[in-house]
Amino acid sequence: MENISIKKVETKREMDDFVKFTNWLYADCPYYVPDLEMDIRNTFNPRKNAGLEYSVLQPFIAYNEAGKPVGRIAGMHNGVYIRMAIILALLGIPDPLTGKKVLESI
């Protein structure tokens, strides 16, 4: 059974893995249209995302035993509404190709 570790994104390399994860996940899908990397990065940049004035947004990345990214998730705390929201795969739903073990870990 493969061990999955969830890491809080804190380094540039981890953010690169977070941003590029769906490119790896859907690499064999001819219909996949990748997100603009700049848009994903700007989502987590307080100077580019006005919503972060009242919220805290933290990305997490899941790695397998070999150190390969196998999933991603972001948590958000909105201080105005005082509630927690989980944003799966930045779309509100998990990527089904990440596998059951990864989804259970997240």
Instruction: Round the CA-based radius of gyration of the chain to a whole number and report it.
Output: 14
Model pLDDT for residues 1-56, shown as the tens digit of each residue: 578 999 999 999 999 999 999 999 999 999 999 989 999 999 999 999 998 888 88
Contact 61, 21 (CB under 8 A): yes
Model pLDDT for residues 58-104, shown as the tens digit of each residue: 999 999 999 999 999 888 877 665 544 444 444 444 565 566 666 66
The reported pTM is: 0.74
Nearest to 73 by CA among 85, 55, 61, 91: 61
